[in-house]
Structure 1
């Protein structure tokens, strides 16, 4: 089974609320080293934490990170972005491109770049942070990009399984961070989310449904569209 004890972990988006929790919890569970990456990495008061500049939308930056961190055994694709507009018709072209690059292409390209490194390790792991909105298309391009990442994660899982790389997809609704400050719905504590993710990883699970919303929305994938989106009934009335 994958384990954090003695692991070398690389976390994208480590400056944020969820990323910071991943850093601390990985060390608490025995990680030997954590690469805490961000476009502008912060300073950490722990010699086990290595700040590393990484822009997941830039191929040269990704390659530089691979060269700087050849000992990684656990990759956590946590970095993400959102835009306030709820619909793809109201987004600007730049908002759409930016979200696709940050939420879909960035994590995919990071995983592809680190795949040879991870494939050479025993019990290596990739963790991709998706969203419950992968399965609920009410957040415009954000929903679309997270759905795309979900599909890509499933493909990576199949392709990397022969090399022994364990791939975990994480779904969660709102988390109590600055990115979800606008939301009025219940929010999950980042510490609870991270503990849930690591427990699932070390149990060998492939998918994490971190809250009730994620459980309900995945179950809704087999439901009639009118049940998931009742506004369609009103439209056809």
Structure 2
């Protein structure tokens, strides 16, 4: 997909996170318009973008966004939540539902609302931001990992379903991007700086994602952890997640 001259919408834009970098780099690559969205739009710092309030768990909010942003040709589903320490076996069922409502059902709400928009505008492209946790889970993040595994499978199905309307469906998979939130979590769990070498600059993750979109890739592995996790999943060796001692990495 050609990004220059495109119109894109990015979900989950926050301070220094992947969403922020997506908006910034899309504009730098010549996007004609970028909608930057979040539940709390007052926290968005995105000069040059059009800011919209969007709650993925509220179908009315999603529908309103699709009606307003009717010129979108690229949808980037970046928004997600995680509750570190939440367990599948005995965790709060309401929190588990909230996590799946955002990460899985919320993303599906966005796809269902914007698929007709993309079709009207020539097909365009859809990028779902996943996580290597879908392939190699870690203690304290099993619910998050399960949601990302569901989203991985859903993305494959959507690729087949939306191909008929000419929409390119891709996924971004990575282990740890050094965003402020992830860095703080990693430092709290493993000690200051202990996992820094395993993190990738979020600007690099996003740059690789956009390069992948422009080259038409269907699955973009953006860091060493993602490559390693996929290899381990197919029997290509032990995952680096399993070799960590004293701590496990947080969510993407």
TM over 0.5: yes
Distance 2:114 2:229 in 1: 31
Q: Aligned residue for 2:39?
A: 39
Distance 1:200 1:45 in 2: 23
Q: Aligned residue for 2:249?
A: none
CA contact 1:9–1:31 (8 Å) conserved in 2: yes
Q: Aligned residue for 2:10?
A: 11
Q: Aligned residue for 2:157?
A: 155
In structure 2, do the counterparts of structure 1 residues 64 and 150 end up closer, same or farther at CA, with 3 Å as the change threshold?
A: same
Q: CA deviation at 1:86?
A: 5.5
Moved over 6 A (4+): none
Question: What number of residue pairs does the alignment pair up?
Answer: 228
1:213 aligned to 2:225?
yes
Where structure 1 has 5 or more consecutive residues not aligned to the other structure, the ranges are: 232-237
Q: CA deviation at 1:89?
A: 2.3
CA contact 1:44–1:51 (8 Å) conserved in 2: no
Distance 1:50 1:63 in 2: 17
Distance 1:230 1:220 in 2: 10
TM-score (structure 2 length as normaliser) = 0.85
1:192 aligned to 2:197?
no
1:162-205, CA deviations, whole angstroms, 9 ceiling, x for partnerless residues? 21101110111011113312124321111001100000000010
Specify which of 182, 192, 196 is matched with residue 185 of structure 2: 182
TM-score (structure 1 length as normaliser) = 0.90
Distance 1:95 1:188 in 2: 29
Where structure 2 has 5 or more consecutive residues not aligned to the other structure, the ranges are: 187-193, 244-252
CA contact 2:20–2:45 (8 Å) conserved in 1: no
Secondary structure at the aligned position of 1:197 is classed as helix
Secondary structure at the aligned position of 1:51 is classed as strand
